[in-house]
Amino acid sequence: MLAYALRRCLGALLTVLALSFVTFAVFAWLPGDPLAAFESQRRGRALDQARRTALVEELGLAAPLPARYLRWLDNALRGDLGRSLRTQRQVTEELSHRLGPTLELSIASTLLALLASLPLGWWLARKRESLLDRSALVGLVALYALPIFWLAMLLQALLAVHWSVVPLYGRLPASGASGLGTRLHHLALPAACLALHQLAFYARFARNTAAEGLDSIQTLFARACGLTEARITWRHGILPSLVALITLAGLVLPSLVSGAVLIETLFAWPGLGRLFVVAIQARDYPVVLAMTVVIGSLTVTGSLLADLGGRLADPRLRHQVSER
Amino acid sequence: MSASGHRTPALATGLLLLGLLASVSLGSALLSLDPLAIRTDQILSPPSLEHPLGTDQLGRDLLARLLAGGRPSFLAGLVATGVALLLGVGLGTLASRSPVWIDVLLSRGTDLVYAFPALIGAMVLVGLPGEHPLMALPEGVRVGMIVGLFSWPMLFRFVRVEVRRRLGSDGHLAALAAGAGPVRTLVLHLLPDALAPALVPASFIAGGTILLEAALGFLGLGVRPPEPSWGNLLRDGMTHVDSAWWMVLFPGLVVFLAVLAFQLIGEGLGRQRAEELY
């Protein structure tokens, strides 16, 4: 188990390194003239030849690609991700400012979704293959297919414009008030929209994993031994589905940072997802590179946690022959 | 599982919905509706007999734009699924029957692609200069190609495992006993069986692409205005969310129905397969 864990950690590290290199190389290869864009962003004028040579010198762009990558990596390992082309501020500073709002939104919505979807899923598993279960599943498929930003716009039009019960957008009011009530008031609609989308996924997952456990031969045996229905549901339905939830870490972890791109845009929420979109539009390479590495690392870490956590929690997985 | 043998209603509904949307959207090219005609006297007018779905901020007919906007969306879905199938099935099959080091190399490469945030693909779309040869392609094809490049890992893993599972099956052994070579057994005996289940993830990819195209257009990173696409229409809708409900409601509704159609097809195919197995 330990050898396996070490091997997987090493693999994860290599994947993140390769990810950053590929992104770096693709940006170098992309057609277009970022220097000209950079100059017009910063000084609002066209780029002449002398200025171009000076910029190439200043940014160290004359060096070959591997050398430039190694310099970036060296700096990155010391916590220096360079400066944003758009704002001229440190990339680390840009990211850290926006991490808080993003986590606020994503953690609130994920908790909301889990609290609502798990009991719903387990209840459906108890009633599996009934008319109620089948129609609920159709409803969940439909909810999952709903474009989340469309749903959010409709709710905005209804709740914020028509009834004025929640603010239309923003994280804090312009007046500068920042009490808990004000924060929750602003958080409610974006978090609820994000939660609804996740709910559709988690509820089906909880329902299917619990139903699988309840249909197993162990459940039959437990019932034959005279265990109560409540106990059977807990031992053979709810527990295995909680364990299976660990395997979703690979999906959940990166979505905590990147999942809210659309909702953050729609609600003018000053988070990382919004930053990512703005950076892509402005072709702000250092920021996009940093975001890619952050999201990629979280994806890799998530699947690592899912794999190792799953093996720790479920002895059956430990004894499975490893695929690779 | 319930009593088996019947076609699942989900599959039938999905196919019907998809056929309806696709034929209306593609057939609209034959109608004399101009999605780009500007009418300054009809700006933001609500649904009426003349404009059944209303008009937008430039007085353009929303119905015409909605129908024309479906073309890049469906095109993107088609191209993305094609690219993903080609890469996922091709590389997955290769990995399943290759020496260990090729398999490891391919699997690691797949992990790498999977770790990329798909949004970064938009970077390539935004960054291309106007004279680049890729720019000569229709918008939907370009978006679809990029999305396809990021969505094949799921199919790769699926096909690799499915082909492996069939090694040593009766059909495989019979082919070997009859003297078929490795390529022949792979292409004629192992792959066809693995392809049918691969249609399930493929239909989810198609639905996901339509959603992603809408999201990219919504973020201003997809098909470029004034050319309509469902994503662009939703972006226009966002800026008029407080004044023109029809600009939000209808484009989102068609995206929802198209994604739902592919979801239902995927669910239906999956369920049908599960019933065949047990």
| A109 assigned to some structural domain | yes
pTM, whole model, 2 decimals?
0.85
Which domain covers residue B258, as residue numbers?
3-26+60-277
Question: Closest by alpha carbon to B72, among B17, B140, B8?
Answer: B140
Q: What is the pLDDT of residue A320?
A: 64
**How many domains is chain A built from?**
1
Cα separation, A160 vs B132, in Å, equals: 44
Q: DSSP readout, B109-157?
A: HHHHHHHS-GGGHHHHHHH--TTSGGGGS-HHHHHHHHHHHHH-HHHHH
Tell me if B112 sits within 8 A of A19, measured CB to CB: yes
DSSP type of residue B227: S
CB of A129 less than 8 A from some CB of B: yes
Does B4 have pLDDT greater than 70? no
Least confident of A65-74, B23-32, B62-71: B23-32
| B35 assigned to some structural domain | no
Structure tokens at A65: 């690609």
Q: What is the pLDDT of residue A207?
A: 94
- Chain segment A143-178, per-residue pLDDT in tens: 989 988 899 888 888 888 888 888 888 887 767 677
Does A187 have pLDDT greater than 70? yes
- Residues of A in Cβ contact (< 8 Å) with B114: 299
- Chain segment A126-142, per-residue pLDDT in tens: 998 899 998 998 899 99
| B271 assigned to some structural domain | yes
Structure tokens at A118: 């798990």
Tell me if B8 sits within 8 A of B268, measured CB to CB: yes
The radius of gyration computed from the CA coordinates of chain B, to the nearest angstrom, equals 22
Interface ipTM: 0.83
- Chain segment A32-71, per-residue pLDDT in tens: 666 776 677 666 667 778 888 887 777 777 778 888 899 9
Average pLDDT on B15-26 reads: 85
Q: What is the pLDDT of residue B127?
A: 66
CB contact under 8 A, B263 and A145: yes
Q: What is the pLDDT of residue B1?
A: 39
Q: Which residue of B has its CA nearest to A26?
A: B124
CB contact under 8 A, B221 and A277: yes
Does B169 have pLDDT greater than 70? yes
Cα separation, B150 vs B80, in Å, equals: 9
| B138 assigned to some structural domain | yes
Tell me if B44 sits within 8 A of B55, measured CB to CB: yes
Which domain covers residue A219, as residue numbers?
92-275
**How many domains is chain B built from?**
1
- Residues of A in Cβ contact (< 8 Å) with B238: 149, 153, 266
- Burial class of residue B81 in the structure, from the number of CB atoms within 10 Å of its CB (0-12 exposed, 13-18 middle, 19+ buried): buried
Does A78 have pLDDT greater than 70? yes
Average pLDDT on B43-54 reads: 77
- For chain B, give the longest Cα–Cα distance: 77
Q: What is the pLDDT of residue B44?
A: 75
Tell me if B91 sits within 8 A of B198, measured CB to CB: no
| B36 assigned to some structural domain | no
A31, A154, A299 member nearest B114 (Cβ)? A299
Confidence bin at B2 (pLDDT 50/70/90):
very low
CB of B267 less than 8 A from some CB of A: yes
- Chain segment B89-131, per-residue pLDDT in tens: 999 988 988 888 998 889 888 988 888 887 887 777 766 766 7
DSSP type of residue A98: H
**Omega within 30 of 0 (cis) for the link into B226:** yes
Does B179 have pLDDT greater than 50? yes
| B49 assigned to some structural domain | no
| B44 assigned to some structural domain | no
| B73 assigned to some structural domain | yes
Q: DSSP readout, B18-48?
A: HHHHHHHHHHGGGS---TT---GGGTTPPS-
CATH of the domain at A205: 1.10.3720.10
Probe site for chain B from A33, A135, A141, A153 (most B CB atoms < 10 A): A153
| B38 assigned to some structural domain | no
- Burial class of residue A101 in the structure, from the number of CB atoms within 10 Å of its CB (0-12 exposed, 13-18 middle, 19+ buried): buried
| A106 assigned to some structural domain | yes
Cα separation, B155 vs B80, in Å, equals: 12
Phi, psi (degrees; rounded to nearest 5) at B54 = 85, -175
CB contact under 8 A, B120 and A288: yes
- Residues of B in Cβ contact (< 8 Å) with A144: 263
DSSP type of residue B7: P
CB of A304 less than 8 A from some CB of B: no
- Burial class of residue B261 in the structure, from the number of CB atoms within 10 Å of its CB (0-12 exposed, 13-18 middle, 19+ buried): buried
Helix (H, G, I), strand (E, B) or coil at B174: helix
| A16 assigned to some structural domain | no
B104, B116, B238 member nearest A324 (Cβ)? B104
Confidence bin at B32 (pLDDT 50/70/90):
low
CATH of the domain at B107: 1.10.3720.10
Give how far A17 is from chain B: nearest CA, Å.
10
- How many CA within 13 A on the CB side of residue A238? 13
Q: What is the pLDDT of residue B6?
A: 54
